[in-house]
Structure 1
């Protein structure tokens, strides 16, 4: 359980690092888009080789399929709730939607890290890298917008630290639940995380990367996919 907390904290730490970087200075939009594209490609690889493949091996097709549907619906309706509060851009609200959006993205991702540890597979380096990298542009951009809207730096850092703490604890939660329930639960949660991430990637992360970086986002995504796939194969 301690290892789950440590790895979860490491993955979530990029939220705080990104928030600090966003508070310190304003970053080039194209650069943020490139990093976002790289993270999207890495997450697509993780969905393919870490979540769906391992879920099928652990529990078969039905639990994974049900998990995919549940995760997609949960993210879709949760994201609509975030949009009603002002959207994911800092221009319309005082920052709460940004934190909720990061929470919505981060919990299923990090729960899978704990599941892998509980199954005795060790931490997935490919998924760890994908989570760490994909967190950075979101928190940098959000913190920059919040700072421009007049939110105090201390408030911004505190808010993102709380989100990072909850995400880290999700790794422990995935570890504990998987150890208690077993493979069928593991397959369902793998599917749930995959469904949530796929909806997030298609509806938010990839369009945002393209908007910020143009066609370069596609190249960055392929590079991210290749790096994550290589790390998965090595592991």
Structure 2
């Protein structure tokens, strides 16, 4: 089987968490603390994946220039894009059910801000390691789940139809698979330095998203246990990356 097909499959699998979360959020009223616990655990998993699956493998022969530039650029681009979306009335992707969701397009853009680089990472892990990083897929899946839950619940409360909600998240999930294919196919002919910089650009965007969105909301809803749950997520991912 062609590797690009495999990249697309894993990208769509990680993106499918958006649809699963959307179904849960639209049809089931989960306590916000449950959503926050998933978010905290996913934060820990993602931080570990960034450290040991992305940054560590992107730095080769103690060559830090390109990875460092990509890492900082990813954080800057993500933060600026998130600010633009927020200024246009769209709340960022993982907001609690109590908040206004803004327009559908703003929600879609907010989700794509981290969904695209996350999916590109999946394709890059196949490109650089020969096989997909199961830890990276698991981490991205977990980060997408609370996004679908909280956002679709908010859209339901705002009167959006289920057809609108699921069409929106299906489109984003499909784009995640396409981004994963792009991560594998478009960067196959670049040098290791360029691939490392692109990998770290995605990692920087992901870390900025975690710090500005996932961790604050998890802490806001569950201040007693969010720290411990985040550490547990990091530990599980760390162990998985070394097995």
TM-score class, shorter: over 0.9
Q: Is the 8 A contact 1:12 1:167 kept in 2?
A: yes
Q: Could you tell me which runs of 5 or more consecutive residues in structure 2 were left unpaired when the two chains were aligned.
A: none
Q: Is the 8 A contact 2:74 2:204 kept in 1?
A: yes
How many pairs were matched up?
A: 234
Moved over 3 A (4+): none
Structure 2: how far apart are the matches of 1:4 and 1:17?
Answer: 20
Q: Which residue of 2 aligns with 1:162?
A: 171
Structure 1: how far apart are the matches of 2:82 and 2:27?
Answer: 28
Q: Please give the TM-score of this superposition, normalised by the length of structure 1.
A: 0.95
1:209 aligns with 2:212: no
SS at match of 2:130: coil
1:48 aligns with 2:51: yes
Tell me which of 124, 131, 134 is aligned to 1:115.
Answer: 124
Structure number with higher helix proportion: 1
Post-superposition shift, 1:92?
Answer: 5.1
1:218 aligns with 2:224: no
Q: Which residue of 2 aligns with 1:8?
A: 11
Q: Which residue of 2 aligns with 1:77?
A: 80
Post-superposition shift, 1:94?
Answer: 3.0
SS at match of 1:3: helix
Q: Cα RMSD over matched residues?
A: 1.4
Q: Could you tell me which runs of 5 or more consecutive residues in structure 1 were left unpaired when the two chains were aligned.
A: none
- Shift in alpha-carbon separation, 1:92–1:174, aligned structure 2, 3 A: closer
Moved more, 90-99 or 17-26: 90-99
Structure 2: how far apart are the matches of 1:164 and 1:2?
Answer: 16
Q: Please give the TM-score of this superposition, normalised by the length of structure 2.
A: 0.92
- Shift in alpha-carbon separation, 1:60–1:121, aligned structure 2, 3 A: farther
Post-superposition shift, 1:58?
Answer: 7.5
Which runs of structure 2 are paired with 1:23-34 in the superposition (5 Å)? 23-34=26-37
Q: Is the 8 A contact 2:101 2:151 kept in 1?
A: no
Structure 2: how far apart are the matches of 1:216 and 1:192?
Answer: 31
